[in-house]
Amino acid sequence: MKKAAAVKPAKSVTKAAAVKPAKSVTKAAAKPESRTALVRRARRINRELAEVYPYAHPELDFENPFQLLVATVLSAQTTDLRVNQTTPALFAKHPTPEDLAAANPEDVEELIRPTGFFRAKTKSIMGLAAALRDEFGGEVPGRVEDLVKLPGVGRKTAFVVMGNAFGRPGITVDTHFGRLVRRWKWTEETDPDKVEKAVGELFPKSDWTMLSHRVIFHGRRICHARKPACGACPIAPLCPAYGEGETDPEKAKKLLKYEKGGFPGQRLKPPQSYLDAGGIPAPPLGATAPPATGE
């Protein structure tokens, strides 16, 4: 098997890849992994990802818990980028739960149309706004038990809000997270609630929120669904699925996305740490994206 070639870290997006070099990649013998070995490998992957993505963050733009709650509901079946391009107009017109609950549904549908499934989403976000107004004094509750009672809000959405708006640990099992933890053999579960439980048992609770961000970042940037960039992956030696994607280092570089490939990210207003790392803000809805600067 080919070794994953070293990839020289870059300080800005003028270089194609900014990942740690993978030392060597050797498939381990096909034997059962002990629980202790699994925990050690999982935690090492988390540490490696923390070095690669020190600026990992939620990729939905928000200024308060209400905005994050609505944006997360809107993110179903679409990209965070499209949500971020859509919500500025929505929140400018309906900045509070009271405003959104009293809105004309047809107006809201037009505002969120770019996110897809806009009729169902309008019903959900107006319903949750009314519930916040009527049952919680216009404030987003800080308990999972209360959040999941709101229209359109499941455990994934609740943990996004808890972890990022209230600073309370939670694991966000989105499509990327579920796909990667199965590739890494952390769990074979496919049900999000079971994935959440299985992965949560591998890590201390204090790691859960940032672990979610790092895994999702890695899934969007390197470990893609159809063609993972194995040859540019910093955790290749730890990955049981190495070789499922492109292992040639030069070809793998061309698959990198966002700050590692010089492309705009998901957020219109990303954290400063992301910008300092060379990340580029996403363009507003209808604007032309800036050209990629990666090699």
Q: Which two tokens stand for residue 279?
A: 């990340």
How far apart CA 103 and CA 41 sit, in angstroms, is: 50
How far apart CA 132 and CA 23 sit, in angstroms, is: 52
Average pLDDT over residues 188-213: 97
How far apart CA 73 and CA 95 sit, in angstroms, is: 16
What's the mean per-residue pLDDT of the chain? 90
**Is 174 in the active site?**
yes
Q: Which of 15, 61, 80, 174 is catalytic?
A: 174
Q: Buried b vs exposed e over 73-92: b needs ≥16 C-beta within 10 Å? A: bbbbebebbbbbbbbeebbe
How long is the chain? 295
- Residue 12 is predicted with a pLDDT of 42
- Residue 148 is predicted with a pLDDT of 95
- Residue 25 is predicted with a pLDDT of 57
Q: Which of 15, 61, 121, 156 is catalytic?
A: 156
Q: pLDDT tens, 89-107?
A: 999 999 999 999 999 999 9
**Is 156 in the active site?**
yes
Reported confidence tier of residue 27, pLDDT bands at 50, 70, 90: low
Average pLDDT over residues 266-293: 84
Q: pLDDT tens, 219-275?
A: 999 999 999 999 999 999 999 999 999 999 999 999 999 998 899 999 999 999 999
- Residue 289 is predicted with a pLDDT of 53
Q: How far is CA 143 from CA 20, 68, 151, 199, in A?
A: 38, 15, 15, 21
Reported confidence tier of residue 31, pLDDT bands at 50, 70, 90: confident
Average pLDDT over residues 14-42: 67
